[in-house]
């Protein structure tokens, strides 16, 4: 497939004035306010705060175009590493915030716990499958939600398949979890806070340094982002934000999630819940699946989605991204999706959902929050998913999908 040269794509686009999409902004704002009020009344004020925290995450993801999928793709395809370096900044800030708190077990007097999971066949295969799905579906877990909120009709297909794949993964997880695996390993508990921090920060620095070396070797320089079309308060409210600003904000908001909910940010557990509830409506019996046998999970399956922390945060992410895209003047859904692209969205979404359940999380729950929790499985997920992305990047042209040389403005 023909593609623009790196030098052409790096040139700043002509700045044009784009008006705020007022109807979409008002709808998003009203849904956030009314939804927050309803959740506060029906569940609790803290649950409403988590809903609005999800909205803040959606706004940050959209304005910073913080995509894991495109960041990995452009590095694989053209050794452009800005996105990966931003991820390392995000992870570095997260471990500095999380490790001391997780070691103490409390935050502001409330108990907290990390997302620590086993490492085994299930995680390796699931993360690898998820990595392929990222490139075929066109997004990761966070990317799917915020691009749906931003008006991407294609990503609605990915999300629907993501939910279906998550339910299928929940139904099969007992078989996968019985395969060979190591017990959950927390580096914070095993090594102590200072050694765990030193080791993690050293790896983040090494990854960032490697991306710089490879990018300069390929291009002779690091890519320079185009000038932002806005300044000051207008840029804060309407974007676009620098990648590093998004990295800092995501790390801080994940820490806020830990403070409010007692555990780090996750996304895809809600997809398994939604898909299982849909399966029950179609005549299946998800309550008989071992996945839902734990008391907390059984209560989530039988109760309202509004009582589920991950679900309300996911709803918030979508609406926060809708608000951000409206403020940026870029909410304009297009309903024409080429059939090969639609097929890739569905197949990729199924891979994303199934892989996330097998791997005990996605790019957020396993990679970002897993590493922030000091879980060894977060690092295993990163490596396996990266190789899946490598394969998925090679597959994209078969479905008419571009392998661009610089990240898209959408980040996915």
Residues 6+ away with beta carbon under 8 Å from 134: 68, 69, 72, 140, 143, 348, 352, 363, 385, 388, 389, 392
Q: What is the pLDDT of residue 412?
A: 52
Residue pLDDT, tens place only, 131-189: 999 999 998 988 899 999 988 889 999 999 999 999 999 999 999 999 999 999 999 99
C-alpha Rg value of the chain to the nearest Å:
20
> Half-sphere exposure (CA, 13 Å, Cβ side) for 212?
9
DSSP-derived secondary structure letter, 64: T
Q: d(Cα 318, Cα 340) in Å, to the nearest integer?
A: 26
Q: What is the pLDDT of residue 14?
A: 43
Q: Could you tell me what percent of the chain has a pLDDT over 90?
A: 80
Q: Which long-range contacts (CB under 8 A, 24 or more apart) does 30-37 make?
A: 31/319, 32/316, 32/319, 32/320, 32/323, 35/315, 35/316, 35/319
Tell me the two tokens of residue 15: 């700045």
| β pairing state of 106-107 and 110-111 | antiparallel
Whether the predicted pLDDT of 19 surpasses 90 = no
| Burial of residue 308, with CB atoms counted within 10 A of its CB: 0-12 exposed, 13-18 middle, 19 or more buried | buried
Return the sign of the alpha-carbon dihedral for residues 87, 249, 261, 362: negative
Return the sign of the alpha-carbon dihedral for residues 15, 21, 26, 31: negative
Provide the pLDDT confidence category of residue 10 given band limits of 50, 70 and 90. very low
- Furthest-apart CA atoms within the chain: distance in Å: 59
Whether the predicted pLDDT of 408 surpasses 80 = no
Q: Could you tell me what percent of the chain has a pLDDT over 70?
A: 94
Q: d(Cα 174, Cα 178) in Å, to the nearest integer?
A: 6
Residues paired with 25 in a beta bridge: none
Q: Which long-range contacts (CB under 8 A, 24 or more apart) does 211-217 make?
A: 211/75, 211/79, 211/81, 211/84, 211/85, 212/81, 212/85, 214/75, 214/79, 214/81, 215/79, 215/80, 215/81, 217/79
> Half-sphere exposure (CA, 13 Å, Cβ side) for 263?
13
Listed in sequence order, the DSSP H helices in 105-222 are 121-137, 141-149, 153-177, 187-191, 193-219
The C-alpha angle 405, 409, 412, rounded to 5 degrees, equals 75
* 111: phi then psi, degrees, rounded to nearest 5: -70, 140
CA distances from 148 to 138, 239, 273, 323 (A): 11, 18, 19, 12
Measured in residues, the chain has a length of 412
Nearest to 159 by CA among 264, 270, 47: 270
Whether the predicted pLDDT of 15 surpasses 60 = no
Backbone region of residue 108 per phi and psi (left: phi > 0; alpha: psi in -120 to 50; beta: other values): left
Q: Please count the other Cβ atoms lying within 10 Å of the Cβ belonging to residue 8.
A: 10
Whether the predicted pLDDT of 335 surpasses 90 = no
Q: How many helices (H) and strands (E) does the chain have?
A: 18, 4
Q: d(Cα 54, Cα 158) in Å, to the nearest integer?
A: 20
Please provide the average confidence, as pLDDT, over all residues in the chain: 91
Residue pLDDT, tens place only, 77-124: 999 999 999 999 999 999 999 999 999 999 998 999 999 999 999 999
More confident call, 142 vs 249: 249
More confident call, 28 vs 227: 28
* Residue whose tokens read 């995000």: 90
What residue segments make up the domains of the chain, in order of their start? 21-220+236-399
Q: d(Cα 147, Cα 151) in Å, to the nearest integer?
A: 6
Q: d(Cα 61, Cα 70) in Å, to the nearest integer?
A: 13
> Half-sphere exposure (CA, 13 Å, Cβ side) for 109?
0
């Amino acid at each position: 497939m023909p593609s623009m040269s790196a030098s052409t794509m790096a040139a700043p686009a002509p700045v044009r004035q784009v008006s705020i999409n007022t109807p979409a902004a008002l709808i998003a704002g009203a849904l956030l306010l009314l939804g927050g009020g309803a959740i506060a009344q029906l569940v609790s004020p803290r649950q409403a705060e988590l809903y609005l925290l999800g909205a803040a995450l959606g706004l940050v993801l959209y304005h910073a175009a913080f995509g894991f999928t495109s960041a990995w793709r452009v590095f694989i395809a053209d050794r452009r590493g800005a996105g990966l370096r931003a991820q390392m900044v995000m992870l570095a800030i997260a471990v500095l915030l999380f490790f001391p708190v997780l070691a103490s077990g409390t935050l502001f007097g409330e108990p907290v716990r990390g997302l620590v999971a086993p490492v085994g066949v299930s995680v390796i295969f699931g993360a690898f499958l998820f990595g392929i799905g990222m490139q075929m579906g066109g997004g990761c877990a966070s990317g799917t939600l915020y691009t749906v909120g931003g008006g991407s009709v294609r990503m609605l297909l990915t999300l629907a398949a993501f939910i279906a794949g998550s339910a299928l993964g929940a139904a099969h997880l007992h078989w996968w979890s019985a395969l060979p695996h190591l017990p959950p390993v927390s580096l914070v508990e095993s090594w102590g806070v200072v050694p765990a921090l030193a080791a993690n920060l050293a790896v983040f620095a090494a990854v960032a340094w490697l991306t710089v070396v490879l990018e300069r070797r390929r291009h002779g320089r690091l890519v320079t982002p185009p000038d932002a079309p806005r300044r000051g308060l207008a840029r804060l409210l309407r974007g676009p934000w620098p990648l590093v600003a998004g990295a800092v904000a995501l790390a801080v908001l994940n820490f806020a999630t830990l403070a409010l909910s007692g555990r780090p940010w996750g996304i895809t557990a809600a997809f398994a819940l939604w898909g299982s509830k849909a399966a029950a409506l179609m005549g299946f019996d998800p309550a008989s699946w071992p996945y839902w046998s734990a008391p907390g999970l059984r209560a989530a399956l039988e109760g309202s989605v509004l009582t589920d922390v991950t679900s309300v945060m996911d709803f918030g992410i979508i609406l926060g991204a809708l608000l951000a895209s409206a403020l940026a003047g870029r909410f304009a859904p297009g309903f024409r999706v080429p059939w090969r692209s639609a097929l890739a969205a569905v197949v990729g979404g199924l891979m994303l959902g199934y892989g996330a359940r097998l791997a005990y999380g996605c790019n957020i729950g396993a990679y970002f929050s897993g590493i922030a929790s000091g879980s060894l499985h977060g690092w295993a997920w990163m490596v396996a998913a990266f190789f899946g992305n490598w394969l998925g990047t090679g597959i994209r042209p078969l479905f008419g999908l571009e392998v661009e040389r610089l990240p898209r403005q959408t980040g996915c």
